[in-house]
Amino acid sequence: MQPTISHTEFSNYLFWDVDRTKIDFDKRKAWVIDRVLSHGMLSDWEKIKAFYGKETIQSVAMHLRYLDKRTLHFCAAYFDVPIEAFRCFTYELSNPGHWNY
């Protein structure tokens, strides 16, 4: 049986731009996981890990178009997956930005 989760369990700033009471955590799992990985605290990470499970989070994280470098390296180390396997890594390589001096 999957545990339940509520919007009140997350950091207040995490869902600042939406009506927190209307978040469907089952239908919007990719968005919730992305938001927690990108902006969440350790307590938010623990909550999604308990709710979605490691495999679901890994699958979503590997298919995200963008993760900042710190989050990408964290996910690669935590899931024991090479960085090259993440979509955001190959997407960044195929879309070079401005030079970083």
* Residue 72 in domain: yes
* Residue 68 in domain: yes
Low-confidence ranges of the chain (pLDDT < 50): 1
% helix, strand, coil for the chain, step of 5: 60, 0, 40
* Residue 17 in domain: no
Domain that holds residue 58: 27-94
The predicted structure's pLDDT at residue 12:
85
The predicted structure's pLDDT at residue 91:
67
The predicted structure's pLDDT at residue 89:
85
pLDDT in tens, 8-27: 788 888 988 888 888 888 89
* Residue 35 in domain: yes
* Residue 4 in domain: no
* Residue 7 in domain: no
Contacts of 79 (CB under 8 A, 6+ apart): 54, 58, 61, 62
The predicted structure's pLDDT at residue 93:
57
* Residue 75 in domain: yes
Structural domains counted in the chain? 1
* Residue 57 in domain: yes
